Structure 1
Amino acid sequence: MATNIEACARRLKRLRKVANHVDANLDKSLSLDDLADIAHLSRFHFERVFADYSGETPVARVRRLRLEVARRRIEAGQAGSMLDLAFDSGYGSAEAFSRAFSACHGLPPSRVRPKERQPTPIRIERIGSVPIQFVPFKGQLGSSIAPFDELRAHALIAGIPRERRKGWCVQFSGDLGKTAGEVELQAALLSERLGQKVPGLHEGYLPAGDYAVLRVEGSFAAPDEAELACRVEHDTGRRLLAGAPRLRCFNNACYLPADFERQFDLYLPLSA
């Protein structure tokens, strides 16, 4: 079993490497053969494995992300001409781009309006002692997410359906946004959602208490500590509880989100 878990976790790491390559090269030609080489798989096997894990084929991912980048450029007021957007998104004409954009987003690019992104409000949420199953980790996380790959490998091999694999992180120490420095955490799934004991996972609970909760988007890193403390006190009238574990609930629509798609709810423990 341990060998199977390790092999599955390595494969997930390679698929994430492919996704990172796609994200960094959306403005370049991306062939299936090249992506399969990065994953160390045959083209046929790679396309099937990638789709099974991420929920979309590699080609569909490239198209979707290019169209998402185009929409964000329009909303940020940085679109330029429609023909420029079409070429940057891999289309040979403004008409073809507009059709693909409409199919993806439900409206043509001409109807998208610039908008200013507002910070999400902070809410207070009380968490009881919610049972979890988790992978413990202590050490240098670096640029990897090894404990989360291991957690997903356990869930995949146990046959846990995608809709029941909602990810959490219990962070005891360290900074998950930095590539250097030691962290201590639990990469967790909720026991109730899993519906069974997954072999190889530890059992425990989310730390109970009151939390200030805010949505973080476009990064795996949390906002500045001092900024968080000031904002929480201003918005809630409560102070952060020093030294207590912080929680993250991951809200990504897929397992291989692009950097700008990343989002999680950050749970900050509050003093009484």
Structure 2
Amino acid sequence: MIRLRANARPIAEAPLLALPRFAATMNVEVFTRRLARLRLVARHIDKHLSSQLRLDELADIAHMSRFHFERVFKAYAGESPLGRVRRLRLLAARRRIEEGTGESLLQLALDSGYASAEAFSRAFRAVHGISPSQLQQQTRQMPAVRIVKLQGQEIQYVPFEGVLDDALHPFEELRAYAMLREIPRERRKGWSVLLEGGRDAWRGHARLQAGLMSAPLGGHIPGLEVGHLPDGEYAVIRIAASMDTPPIEHLAEVVGRQTDRSLRSAPILRCFHNSTYLPAESERCFDVYLPVA
């Protein structure tokens, strides 16, 4: 169950002129719900890429008019809804090439919404910087483990306890607080501090903190709690192309095979690296920090 925070309150201390117009009169809870609806739209697109997607249908999911929805989505996501569809279809084609499905370029082109292999190849190179045929010659590598020593730093966070599954509410709420305070995106590096979780903590019941580094924020954001990233040595694994992080036991085996370290009892961290607010599951990128002895 997603827990709404009782102490969420309007933030009126900072001017809101730089925000998208839809956010200018909202408090944190209303803004968080609006961001969550945009994420629902993004997920609907992600799950129905092979279907015909209409703007009217997407606007209904967001509970907005078509005109208002297009403007709000582009202001938040940095791309139009149909631009997201085109980009993710090309990304899906890339995944199929990397998985070695053996499909022809023409079939990939048709599935991606292009009438010819030539048009598909041009669009593919424009997005990925490499042609489909060149990509077919590359091989995928297993992620490498690196050991880092993390210095404890102050964070400002939203607490969460419940079943994670696909719930991103604490991160939406955290983003709403920061956006309503007009904190520039480049000063907001997102972290997750997993305080407690089961065998597969990414999908089950967990207790965590969704946080931002305090130093770049320039001051305390009212409504957020203050804590620290735990310091110490960590085995860091870069997870790309999916939010479905392997179970902790599997990650521990990877660390053991590549290093001489074993996991110690301490919070597990994640640091998120996506440059857009609404990355698809197939394009998410983050580092998992596993505490090691």
- TM-score when scaled to structure 1? 0.91
Aligned counterparts of 2:131 and 2:241: Cα–Cα separation in 1:
25
Q: Does 1:177 align with 2:202?
A: yes
Aligned-partner SS, 1:193: helix
Q: Could you tell me whether the CA contact under 8 Å between 2:242 and 2:282 is conserved in 1?
A: yes
Paired position in structure 2 for 1:117: 140
Which of 252, 262, 266 does residue 284 from structure 2 map onto? 262
Q: Could you tell me whether the CA contact under 8 Å between 1:70 and 1:85 is conserved in 2?
A: yes
* Cα deviation digits, residues 183-222 of structure 1 (max 9, x gap): 1111001112222322211112101111111112233343
Aligned counterparts of 1:142 and 1:105: Cα–Cα separation in 2:
30
Paired position in structure 2 for 1:28: 51
Paired position in structure 2 for 1:240: 263
Q: Unaligned stretches of 5+ in structure 2?
A: 1-8, 11-25
Q: Which moved more, 1:156-165 or 1:104-113?
A: 104-113
Aligned counterparts of 1:255 and 1:208: Cα–Cα separation in 2:
28
Quickly say closer, same or farther: Cα 1:39–1:233, change in 2 above 3 A. Answer: same
Aligned counterparts of 1:105 and 1:227: Cα–Cα separation in 2:
30
CA RMSD, 1 decimal: 1.8
Q: Does 1:63 align with 2:86?
A: yes
Q: Could you tell me whether the CA contact under 8 Å between 1:70 and 1:79 is conserved in 2?
A: no
* Cα deviation digits, residues 24-76 of structure 1 (max 9, x gap): 11111111111111111111211121112212111111111111112222233
Give identity over the alignment, percent: 54
Aligned counterparts of 1:176 and 1:47: Cα–Cα separation in 2:
36
Corresponding letter in the other structure for 2:31? C
Paired position in structure 2 for 1:253: 275
Paired position in structure 2 for 1:72: 95
Q: Which moved more, 1:164-173 or 1:106-115?
A: 106-115
Shift of 1:177: 2.3
Paired position in structure 2 for 1:200: 223
Aligned-partner SS, 1:23: helix
Aligned counterparts of 2:133 and 2:82: Cα–Cα separation in 1:
25
Shift of 1:79: 4.9
Paired position in structure 1 for 2:123: 100
Shift of 1:78: 2.0
Aligned length: 268
- TM-score when scaled to structure 2? 0.85
Aligned counterparts of 2:157 and 2:231: Cα–Cα separation in 1:
16
Paired position in structure 2 for 1:14: 37
Q: Could you tell me whether the CA contact under 8 Å between 2:201 and 2:248 is conserved in 1?
A: no
Which of 28, 33, 53 does residue 5 from structure 1 map onto? 28
Quickly say closer, same or farther: Cα 1:31–1:145, change in 2 above 3 A. Answer: same
Corresponding letter in the other structure for 2:252? A
Corresponding letter in the other structure for 1:239? S
